[in-house]
């Protein structure tokens, strides 16, 4: 292959100009003639039967055009076909505060909002379940009747290699418990959907979604409208991070309201509703036991995860497996046992957030490895370098590893951060810590079983030399449109600005499974490359004929088609395209990509974990702890990321920095927490996102291992870099004050507690974190009493007014 | 349904606009819904995120907490008014080159906060930049690329001024 002309360069994104001039059209920016405004009524009860819904007063309110309830769409839905346990709007029962119950469409938003208070819902409260322990123990309360044991959603048990023998061989065994608190995506754009059911009986849905194809399937199922009459268009997402990859109630409600009224309907969630839509990071309790030889070589790992799933399935089956699947791909683990259980609780459903299911166990494992390094008197970077999983290998759970740049990442960090010097300076309150990680470049299997490609792309060349690339990916800000343009431009020898991108439209674009699991660069990238290379071949053939040279001497770059030996002998790209169209007919190239077979095992559960290639990354965090106030300041995060090849370094760095920022937020401040089933922080004032003044100095080092499977060698960059930041900060805090934080977030209050300064007793602690599962039956009626007390107080307040 | 619309006149991006709107509707709602200037975004409508930032006589304000009557005599600038005809503002060019807009949703607000900063302080330090955009939440970038873009725009403007 000749050298690359476009990829690898620091070019502006092709869609940057729309973002920077205010002309990008997000879902809520769409306004159609005769459009109605919709809003959803949400449950005020965490767990209750719906005895009666009366919509008559709402329907009579001036300006209200239609009202729909759960009974209008009783079909079960959900992102994973095997665990569909949701309905678009609640039917007969609500399972969390904030669950959508009814939808209103009105002439304006004010009227829709007013009408919500006129829908009369009679609830009969059921005892709620709020904790993992209660959910595991309480057989007498069922959130879903489908749970065989108590409120268990899914239980998985896997074992690989000789685990018992591994521990018997160990010189040192550590066992630790960890807790990772839940948190949410909080994209700045709230979810929004516009539905238009037209006179021809066809429905178009513009929506801020990461998964237009999966949503297309669910719309058919729930609305009973054939897919041939539904078109889903993913609008540019104003941030997503996994939070827009489920089908949501408001999307179906907008569609049904439009079908009922024969007018377009828009529903945009407000900020509080986004916290209820959630599908964010699962709270997870973890027990991890690792055996090592004297030199640190791992002999066996045993890992247990307890996931608090919230009220519904979402991607939960995959999340549960992901907590166990990827612990083996970074360091050599010859024997591994994994037990995972996800439970239902009466809280908004948890789902995939950046790092999906791997973030929590990675935190636990990397904190434990830091402890092991201390136990053995080893430097944490040197220790990790000794036990690396090799490139081009298989893990004990049969995952195929191709390129593996974790070693380069760690070495680069050691140099760049002056690690050895800073590590040897022992200043109380100042610390430096490290952690490694890995992530998938796209899930090895689709969400519904099929043999078709995971991604398809189509490229056309017009008579003026313009190139159009069409692919079902969703632009969520990660730069997927630019990626498609850059790869098409590279394959055809034009500039990205010559490429028009059509993405995420189920009527126009070949299926791509969506912008989740960091799959776009690998899968849509390969599909686009394949489509481009087919057209390139036609252009090369006609140019070789015309220039009178052999085909292998023809190159395409910079809008020229030329002889590699004598570049003066050339023609323009347009000329070559016109010759090719004359010879072959309309110039259309289609390409597709499906992950290769044999990248994972054949056991039950082997579908989660395999990927065409793993990205690798490591982070070093430098922190300062104020010993008087307990304030934790993260001074700097340096991340080294093996992205295979940086197709556009500006974009890759942006993904790495954004990940570091988000990881920082998760361990220092962000938590999605509840009291009596009520979200404690459903606003951006209370749920604090790091501002520019909070965010540490971020530095990025890109490592290019040039992967054999990736398009032009590229792997993912959007999710993996979040993972190492969290344990690196926890390990740095230990380095600073000698306290292990085996639970997140690390708040000032917890630091003061550890330093013996939270109260007057002065008792210091060397560790903050769980010591096991709590008692699920300690006081089963406590939550109920709390709920009743808060309801009574609310009622009292109402009657006083 | 309320029907108490009153006539209002606003000067936005140099153009006068006269229109009818509900008196309790915010400047944000009026810009987006009556004037079709949807470049101004909303992330919370509670004054928490900064996505709706616009300039009133050059000063950044939260349009979600402002009633149009409060700025009836001001010159309003939205992201649509940042470029002068086909000529992009240096901030727009620098944001594109530095990858400072990822999803682009906080971008209009940040561009306007940055414009106000540079107009008052043409060569700000990084701390001053961080302070100036601290009311604008960005969930994608980690802010680093935004700092670099604002610094680059300041340099570009300084060079352009030298040439004149």
User: Which CATH number do you get for residue B97?
Assistant: 1.10.150.120
Please tell me the distance from the alpha carbon of residue A127 to that of residue A781, in angstroms, as a whole number.
Answer: 8
Mutate: best of A22, A59, A186, A497, partner B, most B CBs <10 A: A22
User: Which CATH number do you get for residue A639?
Assistant: 3.30.365.10
**Nearest chain B Cα to A241, which residue?**
B140
Q: How far off is chain B from A654, nearest CA to CA, in Å? A: 6
CB atoms within 10 A of CB B2: 14
| Structural domain for B36, as ranges | 6-81
pLDDT > 90 in chain A, percent: 95
- The residues, any chain, with a CB within 8 Å of residue A38's CB and separated by 6 or more, are A103, A104, A105, A106, A112, A250, A253, A254, A257, A265, A266, A267
Please tell me the distance from the alpha carbon of residue A184 to that of residue A279, in angstroms, as a whole number.
Answer: 7
Pair A410, A364 in one domain? yes
Q: Confirm if A633 and A624 have CB atoms less than 8 A apart.
A: yes
Pair B99, B144 in one domain? yes
pLDDT band, residue A5 (cuts 50/70/90): very high
**Residue that terminates a domain, selected from A593, A627, A646:** A593
Q: B45 and A186 in contact by Cβ < 8 A?
A: no
Is the residue at A207 inside a domain? yes
| Tokens (6 digits) for A310 | 């919230």
Tell me: the pLDDT tens digits for B92-120? Answer: 999 999 999 999 999 999 999 999 999 99
User: What average pLDDT score do residues A454-470 get?
Assistant: 98
Residues, chain A, total? 801
> Which of the 8 DSSP states describes residue A600?
S
Pair A249, A328 in one domain? no
Is the residue at B38 inside a domain? yes
Is the residue at A777 inside a domain? no
pLDDT band, residue A793 (cuts 50/70/90): low
**Nearest chain B Cα to A698, which residue?**
B144
Domain count, chain B: 2
Tell me: the pLDDT tens digits for A176-234? Answer: 999 999 999 999 999 999 999 999 999 999 999 999 999 999 999 999 999 999 999 99
Please tell me the distance from the alpha carbon of residue A67 to that of residue A511, in angstroms, as a whole number.
Answer: 34
User: What average pLDDT score do residues B49-68 get?
Assistant: 98
DSSP for A679-719 reads ES--STTTSPPP-TTTSPEEEEEEE----SSSGGG----SS
Is the residue at B96 inside a domain? yes
Q: How far off is chain B from A786, nearest CA to CA, in Å? A: 29
Does A668 lie at the interface with B, CB-CB under 8 angstroms?
no
pLDDT band, residue A1 (cuts 50/70/90): very low
Is the residue at B1 inside a domain? no
pLDDT band, residue A481 (cuts 50/70/90): very high
Tell me: the pLDDT tens digits for A366-397? Answer: 999 999 999 999 999 999 999 999 999 999 99
Residues 380-409 (A) with a CB less than 8 A from some CB of B: none
Is the residue at A782 inside a domain? no
Pair B98, B59 in one domain? no
Please tell me the distance from the alpha carbon of residue B53 to that of residue A238, in angstroms, as a whole number.
Answer: 16
User: Which CATH number do you get for residue B25?
Assistant: 3.10.20.30
Q: A271 and B22 in contact by Cβ < 8 A?
A: no
Please tell me the distance from the alpha carbon of residue A209 to that of residue A504, in angstroms, as a whole number.
Answer: 9
Nearest to B130 by CA among B144, B120, B119: B144
- The residues, any chain, with a CB within 8 Å of residue A59's CB and separated by 6 or more, are A66, A67
User: What average pLDDT score do residues A549-571 get?
Assistant: 98
**Residue that terminates a domain, selected from A256, A277, A298:** A277
Does A19 lie at the interface with B, CB-CB under 8 angstroms?
yes
Pair B107, B76 in one domain? no
pLDDT band, residue A117 (cuts 50/70/90): very high
Pair A478, A526 in one domain? yes
**Residue that terminates a domain, selected from B81, B98, B117:** B81
Domain count, chain A: 3
Is the residue at A628 inside a domain? yes
Pair B77, B94 in one domain? no
Please tell me the distance from the alpha carbon of residue A348 to that of residue A779, in angstroms, as a whole number.
Answer: 23
Query: What is the value of pTM for the model shown?
Result: 0.96
Please tell me the distance from the alpha carbon of residue B120 to that of residue A537, in angstroms, as a whole number.
Answer: 56
Pair A208, A346 in one domain? no
Pair A102, A220 in one domain? yes
Mutate: best of B25, B140, B146, B152, partner A, most A CBs <10 A: B140
Pair A459, A576 in one domain? yes
Pair A227, A256 in one domain? yes
Pair A203, A260 in one domain? yes
Tell me: the pLDDT tens digits for A351-374? Answer: 999 999 999 999 999 999 999 999
Pair B20, B55 in one domain? yes
Is the residue at A161 inside a domain? yes
Q: Confirm if A119 and A58 have CB atoms less than 8 A apart.
A: yes
The H-assigned helical ranges of A46-198 are 56-60, 109-116, 132-137, 163-169
Please tell me the distance from the alpha carbon of residue A297 to that of residue A299, in angstroms, as a whole number.
Answer: 6
Pair A331, A439 in one domain? yes
Q: Please tell me the number of Cα atoms within 13 Å of A496 on its side-chain side.
A: 23
Burial zone of A370 (CB within 10 Å; 0-12 exposed, 13-18 middle, 19+ buried): buried
Is the residue at A801 inside a domain? no
Of A478, A691, A698, the CB nearest to B137: A691
Pair B101, B135 in one domain? yes
What is the crossing angle of helices A525-547 and A573-584, to 10°? 90
The H-assigned helical ranges of A262-405 are 271-277, 316-325, 359-376, 380-386
Q: Confirm if A25 and A236 have CB atoms less than 8 A apart.
A: yes
Sign of CA dihedral A46, A51, A56, A57: negative
Please tell me the distance from the alpha carbon of residue A715 to that of residue A646, in angstroms, as a whole number.
Answer: 8
Is the residue at A598 inside a domain? no
Does A20 lie at the interface with B, CB-CB under 8 angstroms?
yes
Pair B74, B47 in one domain? yes
Of A25, A106, A658, the CB nearest to B102: A658
Does A695 lie at the interface with B, CB-CB under 8 angstroms?
yes
Of A20, A29, A651, the CB nearest to B107: A20
Is the residue at A89 inside a domain? yes
Please tell me the distance from the alpha carbon of residue A529 to that of residue A782, in angstroms, as a whole number.
Answer: 59
Mutate: best of B28, B65, B99, partner A, most A CBs <10 A: B99
Is the residue at B102 inside a domain? yes
Beta pairing partners, A292:
A172, A298
Mean pLDDT for all residues in chain A: 96
Does A212 lie at the interface with B, CB-CB under 8 angstroms?
no
Taking the CA atoms of residue A499, residue A505, residue A507 and residue A513 in that order, the dihedral angle to the nearest 10 degrees is 110
Strand positions, DSSP E, A442-575: 455-461, 467-471, 499-503, 554-557, 560-563, 570-572
pLDDT band, residue A240 (cuts 50/70/90): very high
pLDDT of residue A452 exceeding 70, the answer is: yes
Q: How far off is chain A from B112, nearest CA to CA, in Å? A: 11
Q: How far off is chain A from B119, nearest CA to CA, in Å? A: 18
pLDDT band, residue A785 (cuts 50/70/90): low
pLDDT band, residue B163 (cuts 50/70/90): confident
Collapsing DSSP states into helix, strand and coil, what is residue A671? coil
- The residues, any chain, with a CB within 8 Å of residue A408's CB and separated by 6 or more, are A640, A642, A703, A705
Tell me: the pLDDT tens digits for A55-64? Answer: 999 999 999 9
pLDDT band, residue A790 (cuts 50/70/90): low
Pair A709, A578 in one domain? no
Pair B50, B76 in one domain? yes
pLDDT band, residue B2 (cuts 50/70/90): low
Residues 96-115 (A) with a CB less than 8 A from some CB of B: 106-108, 110-111
The ipTM, to two decimals, is 0.97
| Tokens (6 digits) for A656 | 């790495």
Pair A294, A384 in one domain? yes
Pair A500, A428 in one domain? no
Is the residue at B117 inside a domain? yes
Q: B106 and A188 in contact by Cβ < 8 A?
A: yes
Pair B98, B156 in one domain? yes
- The residues, any chain, with a CB within 8 Å of residue A137's CB and separated by 6 or more, are A150, A776, A777
User: What average pLDDT score do residues A687-715 get?
Assistant: 98
Pair B68, B97 in one domain? no
Please tell me the distance from the alpha carbon of residue B41 to that of residue B106, in angstroms, as a whole number.
Answer: 7
**Residue that terminates a domain, selected from B50, B81, B112:** B81
**Nearest chain A Cα to B44, which residue?**
A271
**Residue that terminates a domain, selected from B81, B99, B128:** B81
What is the crossing angle of helices A316-325 and A359-376, to 10°? 20
Pair B51, B113 in one domain? no
**Nearest chain A Cα to B111, which residue?**
A20
**Residue that terminates a domain, selected from A551, A567, A593:** A593
Pair B144, B96 in one domain? yes
Which residues in chain B are closer than 8 Å to A115, comparing Cβ atoms? none
Mutate: best of B137, B139, B148, partner A, most A CBs <10 A: B139
| Structural domain for A122, as ranges | 31-126+188-240+244-277
């Amino acid at each position: 292959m000749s050298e690359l002309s476009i990829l690898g360069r620091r070019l502006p994104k092709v869609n940057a100009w729309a973002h920077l001039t205010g002309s990008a059209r997000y879902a809520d920016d769409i306004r159609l003639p005769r459009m109605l405004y919709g809003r959803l009524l949400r449950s005020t009860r965490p767990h209750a039967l719906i005895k009666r819904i009366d919509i008559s007063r709402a329907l009579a309110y001036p300006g209200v055009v239609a009202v729909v309830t759960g009974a209008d769409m009783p079909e079960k839905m959900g992102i994973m076909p095997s665990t569909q346990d949701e309905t678009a709007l609640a039917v007969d029962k609500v399972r969390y505060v904030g669950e959508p119950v009814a939808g209103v469409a009105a002439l304006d938003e004010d009227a829709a909002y007013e009408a919500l208070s006129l829908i009369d819902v009679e609830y009969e409260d059921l005892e709620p379940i709020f904790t993992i322990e209660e959910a595991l123990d309480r057989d007498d309360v069922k959130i879903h009747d489908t749970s065989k044991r108590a409120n268990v959603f899914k239980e998985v048990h896997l074992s690989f290699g000789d685990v018992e023998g591994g521990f018997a061989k160990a010189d040192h065994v550590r066992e630790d418990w960890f807790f990772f608190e839940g948190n949410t995506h909080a994209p700045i754009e709230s979810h929004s959907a516009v539905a238009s059911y037209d006179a021809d009986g066809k429905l178009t849905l513009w929506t801020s979604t990461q998964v237009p194809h999966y949503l297309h399937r669910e719309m058919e199922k729930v609305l009973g409208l054939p897919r041939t009459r539904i078109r889903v268009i993913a609008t540019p997402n104003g941030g997503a991070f996994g939070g827009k990859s489920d089908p949501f109630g408001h999307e179906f409600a907008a569609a049904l309201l439009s079908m009922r009224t024969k007018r377009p309907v828009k529903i945009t969630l407000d900020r509080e509703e986004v916290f209820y839509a959630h599908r964010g990071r699962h709270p997870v309790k973890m027990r991890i036991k690792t055996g090592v030889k004297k030199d640190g070589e791992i002999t066996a790992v045993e890992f247990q995860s307890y996931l608090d799933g919230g009220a519904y399935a979402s991607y939960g089956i995959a999340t549960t497996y992901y907590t166990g699947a990827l612990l083996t791909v970074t360091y050599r683990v010859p024997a591994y046992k994994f037990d995972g259980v996800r439970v239902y609780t009466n809280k908004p459903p948890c789902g995939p957030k950046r790092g999906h299911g791997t973030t929590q166990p990675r935190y636990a494992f990397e904190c434990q490895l830091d402890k092991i390094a201390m136990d053995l008197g080893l430097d944490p970077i040197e220790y990790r370098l000794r036990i690396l999983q090799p490139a081009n290998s298989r893990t004990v759970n049969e995952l195929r590893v191709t390129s593996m740049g974790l070693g380069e990442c760690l070495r680069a960090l050691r140099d760049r951060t002056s690690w050895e010097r800073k590590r040897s300076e022992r200043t109380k309150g100042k610390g430096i810590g490290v952690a490694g990680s890995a992530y998938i470049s796209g899930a090895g299997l689709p969400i519904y079983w099929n043999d078709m490609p995971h991604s398809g792309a189509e490229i056309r060349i017009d008579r003026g030399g313009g190139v159009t690339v069409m692919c079902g990916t969703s632009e969520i800000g990660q730069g997927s449109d630019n990626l498609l343009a850059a790869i098409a431009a590279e394959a055809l020898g034009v500039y990205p600005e010559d490429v028009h991108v059509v993405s995420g439209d189920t009527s126009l674009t070949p299926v791509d499974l969506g912008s989740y699991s960091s799959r776009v660069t690998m899968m849509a990238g390969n599909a686009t490359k394949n489509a481009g290379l087919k057209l390139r071949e036609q252009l090369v053939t006609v140019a070789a004929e015309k220039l009178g040279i052999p085909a292998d001497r023809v190159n395409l770059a910079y809008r020229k088609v030329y002889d590699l030996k004598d570049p003066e002998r050339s023609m323009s790209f347009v000329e070559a395209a016109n010759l090719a169209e004359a010879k072959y007919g309309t110039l259309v190239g289609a390409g597709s990509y499906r992950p290769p077979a044999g990248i994972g095992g054949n056991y039950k559960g082997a579908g989660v974990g395999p990927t065409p290639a793993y990205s690798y990354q490591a982070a070093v965090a430098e922190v300062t702890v104020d010993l008087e106030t307990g304030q934790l300041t993260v001074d700097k995060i340096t991340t080294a990321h093996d992205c295979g090849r940086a197709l556009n370094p500006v974009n890759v760095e942006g993904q790495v920095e954004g990940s570091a920022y988000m990881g920082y937020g998760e361990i220092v401040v962000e938590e999605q927490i509840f009291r009596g089933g009520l979200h404690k922080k459903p606003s951006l004032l209370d749920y604090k996102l790091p501002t520019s003044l909070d965010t540490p100095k971020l530095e990025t080092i890109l490592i290019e291992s040039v992967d054999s499977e990736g398009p032009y060698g590229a792997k993912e960059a959007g999710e993996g870099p979040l993972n190492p930041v969290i344990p690196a900060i926890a390990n740095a805090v230990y380095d600073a004050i000698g306290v292990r934080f085996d639970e997140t977030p690390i708040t000032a209050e917890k630091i003061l507690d550890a330093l013996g300064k939270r109260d007057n007793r002065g008792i210091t602690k060397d560790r903050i974190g769980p010591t096991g599962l709590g008692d699920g039956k300690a006081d089963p009626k406590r939550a109920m009493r709390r709920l009743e007390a808060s309801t009574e107080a609310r009622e009292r307040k109402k009657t006083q007014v | 349904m309320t029907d108490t619309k009153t006539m209002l006149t606003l000067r936005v991006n140099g153009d006068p606009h006269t229109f009818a709107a509900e008196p309790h509707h915010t400047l944000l709602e009026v810009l987006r819904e009556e004037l079709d200037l949807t470049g101004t975004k909303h992330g919370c409508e509670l004054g928490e995120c900064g996505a709706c930032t616009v300039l009133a006589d050059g000063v950044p304000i939260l349009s979600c907490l402002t009633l149009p009557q409060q700025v009836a005599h001001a010159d309003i600038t939205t992201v649509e008014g940042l470029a002068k005809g086909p000529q992009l503002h240096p901030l727009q060019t620098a944001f594109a080159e530095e990858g400072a807009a990822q999803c682009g949703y906080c971008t209009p607000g940040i561009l306007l906060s940055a414009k106000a900063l540079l107009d008052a302080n043409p060569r700000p330090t990084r701390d001053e930049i961080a302070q100036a955009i601290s009311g604008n939440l960005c969930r994608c970038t980690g802010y680093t690329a935004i700092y670099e873009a604002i610094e680059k725009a300041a340099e570009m403007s300084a060079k352009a001024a030298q040439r004149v």
